[in-house]
Amino acid sequence: MSTWGSGFGPNGTRLYDLWTLFYRFGMPLLPILERWRRDGLRVDIVMALKHKKLTDLKLREGEKLIEQMLGPFFNWRSPKQVAHLFYDIWGLPKQYNVNKKTREKHITIDADARDKLRAVVAEREDEKARAARALFGLLDFCSEQKKLSEYYDRISPDDRIHAGWKGHGAVNFRLASTPNVQNWPTWPIAEGFECPRAIVIPDDDDDVFLMYDFEQVELWTYMRIFNIKYLQRVYESGDYIYGKAYEDIFKRPFFQEGKPRRKKFKAPDVEAQDLLRAKAIPLGVLYGRSGASVALEHGWLRAEGESYRADWFRLNPELPAAHSWIQYEMTQKGFLRPPPGFLLHFPQPTLLGYNCFGATPAAALLLESVILMEREFARRGWKNTKTKLCVHDSLLINVAGGRKHPERVCEVHEEVCAPILTRPIDWLDGFQYRAEAKVGTRWDWGEEDYDEWTQTVGASNASPALQTQ
């Protein structure tokens, strides 16, 4: 087969043949994922135990509220009992899953079903609808606490979590892990506590983490594939995209006058709720969700969600055109091939089809970055400087001896990681992404901006943030 692949996608993007993709992305990734499992993620046991105790307390409180609401014999973990309550007692419209092989329908109360039922009860004000809304909130709370508690139970005797990783773990070719460490929350679990990811620490006490977050990787991917001019202007200006969306949709200034148009310089009168809306609109609408669906998720009026969606489409007329093209491809062919050419089967049109043109190229970017970094680390003989995991648009790297030798962190970042992460991407005709680097000793907690860290290191030969952790 041709090394150059089987053709081109929208806007001149490259589509490689499956043979090339298999040997470029698939085979080199397998030993890296096995090493991630074998090495595991080192855990701060004291912090983990503290987090688990609080999580179990919160779970018990949630279960007590459910018991007060529905009695001591109702088991919120039982799909049969929950389905009986929803459909037989409360009379909500039954939701079904279809067996792909037998085509038989089965009643379900899974996450998709609950989302549809939320939309039903949101339009009603009777007693059963109010009870259903309250129970949905409690079920979400208890499910989240139960998942968090199970994470801590997976810590092995060597004080590590050995997650299994799959390179084909999701329809859109994102990595998936068991337990699902990628979905650990990034926010504190309670006032005075850290986020759950903070229990993950470097492999050795002298090591530090380099953490990378790509800037709006899926938005810029969609922009490049479908030539969305509004997003192109925002990308080229370097503006914080959600601040720009805030100004264009709400017609109010987001940034402080005379300051760079970055998130940290947002105006003091910008309300958190409005910023949340500005964030929800681009990503929610990007992947074909209805205005009503986005409004339901964020507690807006239905008319507000539909109005915001219409405004975003007016700003980005290429977006509905892209959705129409994707819909046609799914309907006529039953499959999609987003850059760099992975084959995704969609016998029925689905929102995942819209999603894959942002998520699949982003996954390819991240996975190949990991492969290239590991090759360079090996070439340089760095045995304990290595990648630890990646999560959708971010990457975690363990830098050996980085506490005592901050110059090693600079070498890893400036000579290896930064050039790889910002390299021209061949399947997107040389497009270059931007990635933000941070340094710290806990995953996604207490980290320091790389540029600020280097200034501190230059002044005192060691970062105060690293000395105190």
DSSP notation for 216-247: SHHHHHHHHHHT-HHHHHHHHHT--HHHHHHH
**Quick check: 408 pLDDT over 90?**
yes
180-238 pLDDT per residue, tens: 888 888 888 888 889 999 999 999 999 999 999 998 899 999 999 999 999 999 899 88
- Token pair recorded at residue 437: 């680097």
H or E, element range at 178? strand 176-178
**Quick check: 277 pLDDT over 70?**
yes
Residue recorded with tokens 């409360």: 90
pTM of the model: 0.87
**Quick check: 261 pLDDT over 90?**
no
Q: Check if the beta carbon of residue 369 is closer than 8 Å to that of residue 213.
A: no
Q: Check if the beta carbon of residue 394 is closer than 8 Å to that of residue 423.
A: no
From CA 426, how far away is CA 156, in angstroms rounded?
41
Q: Check if the beta carbon of residue 212 is closer than 8 Å to that of residue 440.
A: no
Q: Of 98, 66, 97, nearest to 82 (Cα)?
A: 66
Coil vs helix vs strand at 397: strand
pLDDT at position 381, please?
95
From CA 402, how far away is CA 385, in angstroms rounded?
10
Coil vs helix vs strand at 95: coil
Q: Check if the beta carbon of residue 429 is closer than 8 Å to that of residue 210.
A: no
| CA distance to 114, 120, 228, 351, per residue, from 290 (Å) | 17, 15, 20, 10
From CA 346, how far away is CA 349, in angstroms rounded?
6
Q: Which of 32-36, 187-191, 341-345, 437-441 has the lowest mean pLDDT?
A: 187-191
**Quick check: 464 pLDDT over 70?**
no
Q: Which of 16-20, 228-232, 252-256, 271-275 has the lowest mean pLDDT?
A: 271-275
pLDDT at position 6, please?
66
The mean pLDDT of 250-274, rounded to a whole number, is: 84
The mean pLDDT of 362-376, rounded to a whole number, is: 95
Q: Of 142, 149, 147, 150, nearest to 76 (Cα)?
A: 142
**Quick check: 158 pLDDT over 90?**
yes
Q: How far separated are the first and last CA of the chain, in Å rounded?
A: 53
CATH entry 3.30.70.370 includes domain 7-43+160-218+360-467: yes
| CA distance to 93, 130, 163, per residue, from 134 (Å) | 18, 6, 34
From CA 14, how far away is CA 7, in angstroms rounded?
6
Residue 92, amino acid: L
pLDDT at position 467, please?
37
Mean pLDDT, the chain, as a whole number? Answer: 88
**Quick check: 276 pLDDT over 90?**
no
**Quick check: 9 pLDDT over 80?**
yes
The mean pLDDT of 94-99, rounded to a whole number, is: 83
Q: Which of 28-37, 101-110, 193-202, 362-371 has the lowest mean pLDDT?
A: 101-110
Map out the domains of the chain as residue ranges: 7-43+160-218+360-467, 48-153
From CA 195, how far away is CA 399, in angstroms rounded?
22
Q: Check if the beta carbon of residue 379 is closer than 8 Å to that of residue 55.
A: no
Q: Residue 120 — pLDDT band, cuts 50, 70, 90?
A: confident
pLDDT at position 51, please?
94
Question: What dihedral do alpha carbons 357, 359, 362, 363 form, nearest 10°?
Answer: -120
285-335 pLDDT per residue, tens: 888 888 877 777 777 778 888 888 888 899 899 999 999 999 999 999 999
From CA 28, how far away is CA 387, in angstroms rounded?
14
pLDDT at position 458, please?
56
The upper half-sphere exposure of residue 395, i.e. CA atoms within 13 Å in the direction of its Cβ, equals: 28
Q: Which of 112-126, 128-142, 377-391, 454-468 has the lowest mean pLDDT?
A: 454-468
